[in-house]
């Protein structure tokens, strides 16, 4: 219930039940017996067992002391009342003893239990209020973060566009090899910043939708090859030197999978990863697709340095980077998070004779 919630001390339930049984035995032993015992005693015995079992049950619960102890004490008092009821079927109970053990115990026990229930209800209301306040704060932070990310994405994209434009202008004025190499590094750096901005924005989108417990990440039927073709074109526009080979059967056209617009980020990151970590000249990327029943599988292969076996799973973890990577380590993490939320899976295997193949498996939209 709270950070202070805990079970009652070990053995307290057993001692309490033993004391109640001892009370019943003491009453039966010390008071004069009735001539005959009514059949009603069996009903009284059955009723008496309820608070006794309740004592053991409550003692095992992790409750706040302000709730647990009153509830436990109330059950003990009700247990004393039930034990006295059973004894009353066997012996003649003096009026004073009858009033104290039967009437007072049930009255006080009921009041104490009501106090426990009231405190439990207050604690629950307090928890619900705190939870609602926390959800409101999280929602507000998510909204602010999304707005901030949008602004940063817009501003950075504008600045990157300006930098690319000036780089294009400089391209006509730089003749020496060292200058052109430096200019190429500047251009690539601009592209990396733009890619990082898009990835960060997509990651914020995923986290914000995850925080929305009521709606969560929304999916729809998406033309998977349409998205894949668009991301391949973007890759070819960015990297003139990359040879991209796309192979899939014509009958796959129009196939839809369970995803959303962030599927662009999945394929975009995988394609970019296939080139940015590629040390071959020229770098080559092969894209293929196939459908097996209600699953659609996309393979993106490269001729880069490949991944050691111990990195094939770890590379999808947050902040884990590939070989000699200067990236942030969130691109492939985002890929895995998105594909998993789409109901699919992604893994890496060796390419032959060299490189890595990333295999994305997605559910076909019905």
- 279-311 pLDDT, tens digit per residue, is 888 899 999 999 999 999 999 999 998 899 888
Looking at residue 33, what is its pLDDT?
86
Looking at residue 157, what is its pLDDT?
73
Between β-strands 243-247 and 284-292, what pairing exists: parallel, antiparallel or unpaired?
A: parallel
Looking at residue 326, what is its pLDDT?
47
As a whole number of angstroms, the distance between CA 102 and CA 23 comes to 12
Looking at residue 270, what is its pLDDT?
94
Residues of the chain with pLDDT under 50: 3, 323-328
Q: Is the pTM value of this prediction over 0.85?
A: no
Question: Half-sphere exposure of 30 toward its Cβ, with a 13 Å CA cutoff?
Answer: 9
Looking at residue 5, what is its pLDDT?
64
Tell me how crowded residue 343 is: count the other CB atoms within 10 A of its CB.
14
Looking at residue 257, what is its pLDDT?
97
Which residues are registered as beta bridge partners of 298?
289, 360
Looking at residue 245, what is its pLDDT?
93
Looking at residue 211, what is its pLDDT?
59
Strands (DSSP E) contained in the chain are: 220-223, 243-247, 256-259, 284-292, 295-302, 345-350, 356-363
Domains and CATH numbers, the chain: 1-216 (no CATH), 217-366 (3.30.565.10)
């Amino acid at each position: 219930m709270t950070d202070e919630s805990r079970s009652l001390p070990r053995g307290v339930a057993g001692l309490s039940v033993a004391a109640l049984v001892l009370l019943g035995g003491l009453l039966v032993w010390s008071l004069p017996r009735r001539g005959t015992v009514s059949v009603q005693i069996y009903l009284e015995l059955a009723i008496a067992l309820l608070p006794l079992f309740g004592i053991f049950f409550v003692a095992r619960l992790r409750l706040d002391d302000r709730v647990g102890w009153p509830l436990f004490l109330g059950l003990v008092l009700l247990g004393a009342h039930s034990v006295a009821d059973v004894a009353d079927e066997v012996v003649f109970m003096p009026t004073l003893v009858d009033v104290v053990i039967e009437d007072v115990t049930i009255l006080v026990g009921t009041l104490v239990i009501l106090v426990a229930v009231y405190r439990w209800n207050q604690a629950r209301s307090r928890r619900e209020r705190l939870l609602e306040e926390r959800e409101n704060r999280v929602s507000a932070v998510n909204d602010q973060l999304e707005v901030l990310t949008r602004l940063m994405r817009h501003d950075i994209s504008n600045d990157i566009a300006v930098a690319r434009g000036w780089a294009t202008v400089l391209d006509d004025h730089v003749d020496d090899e060292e200058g052109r190499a430096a200019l190429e590094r500047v251009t690539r750096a601009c592209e990396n910043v733009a890619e990082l901005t898009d990835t960060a924005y997509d990651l914020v989108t995923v986290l914000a939708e995850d925080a929305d417990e009521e709606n969560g990440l929304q999916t729809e039927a998406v033309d998977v090859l349409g998205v894949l073709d668009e991301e391949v074109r973007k890759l070819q526009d960015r990297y003139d030197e990359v040879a991209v080979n796309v192979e899939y059967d014509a009958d796959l056209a129009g196939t839809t999978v369970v995803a959303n617009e962030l599927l662009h980020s999945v394929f975009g990151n995988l394609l970019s990863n296939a080139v940015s970590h590629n040390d071959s000249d020229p770098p080559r990327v092969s894209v293929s697709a196939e459908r097996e029943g209600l699953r659609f599988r996309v393979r993106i292969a490269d001729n880069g340095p490949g991944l050691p076996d111990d990195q094939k799973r770890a590379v999808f973890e947050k902040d884990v980077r590939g070989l000699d990577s200067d990236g942030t380590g969130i691109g492939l993490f985002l890929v895995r998070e998105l594909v998993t939320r789409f109901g699919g899976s992604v893994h890496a295997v060796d390419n032959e004779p060299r490189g890595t193949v990333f295999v994305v498996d997605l559910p076909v939209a019905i």
